[in-house]
């Protein structure tokens, strides 16, 4: 294109970024991203950022993804649900529960939705860190804010109940998976 005198625009550059990310060549995607303004005289848009955030998380480069997410927000863009879910999952898998929860709550504040796998990953890590009470409080907060539907809520509640039982904490077991809060230790 350039040899023929045609300057690439944000759409063609985003196609290259997406292609590099999908083929797991994230460094090449980052090179294109960083050249957008300097070499090609066009600004990255939300797609540019979202492709890269997802790609960086897929490679376990969570710190880079988080930094890019912050830069994205500074430039007035809101990450997509896919970007938020990727970032929350990556943070949780690295054991950075506080950051994962921060982004999980931010996701909902920005009218984005978390998928069940993201919820499950966060709650599994919280429970792995033996903070099942914190997980229960978070689940209730998400329910109160209408961030989790009833089906997902019920499934997560049953999983937490199993984690409590595995932790030798007394829980009243019923088919509906309701809790005996008076006997739950955190």
- For the segment 31-90, what is each residue's pLDDT rounded down to a tens digit? 999 999 999 999 999 999 999 999 999 999 999 999 999 999 999 999 999 999 999 999
**Interhelix angle for 116-128 vs 97-109, to 10°?**
150
Under the banding of pLDDT at 50, 70 and 90, the label for residue 15 is very high
pLDDT at 164: 67
Q: Which residues contact 169 (CB under 8 A, 6 or more apart)?
A: 132, 183, 184, 185
- 66 within 8 A of 87, measured Cβ to Cβ: yes
Q: Please provide the CATH number assigned to the domain covering 1-94.
A: 1.25.40.10
List the chain domain ranges: 1-94
Per DSSP, 7 falls in state P
Q: Has this prediction a pTM greater than 0.75?
A: yes
Q: What is the mean pLDDT of the chain?
A: 88
């Amino acid at each position: 294109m350039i040899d023929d005198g045609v300057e690439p625009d944000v759409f063609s550059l985003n196609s290259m970024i997406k292609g590099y990310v999908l083929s797991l060549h994230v460094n090449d995607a980052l090179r294109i991203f960083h050249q957008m303004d300097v070499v090609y005289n066009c600004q990255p848009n939300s797609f540019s950022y979202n492709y890269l955030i997802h790609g960086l998380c897929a490679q376990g480069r969570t710190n880079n993804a988080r930094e890019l997410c912050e830069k994205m927000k500074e430039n007035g863009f809101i990450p997509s649900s896919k970007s938020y879910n990727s970032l929350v999952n990556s943070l949780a898998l690295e054991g950075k529960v506080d950051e994962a929860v921060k982004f999980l709550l931010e996701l909902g504040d920005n009218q984005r939705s978390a998928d069940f796998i993201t919820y499950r990953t966060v709650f599994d890590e919280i429970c792995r860190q033996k903070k099942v009470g914190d997980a229960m409080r978070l689940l209730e907060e998400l329910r109160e804010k209408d961030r989790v539907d009833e089906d997902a809520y019920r499934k997560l509640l049953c999983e937490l109940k199993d984690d409590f039982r595995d932790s030798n904490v007394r829980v009243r077991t019923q088919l509906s998976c309701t809790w005996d809060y008076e006997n739950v230790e955190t």
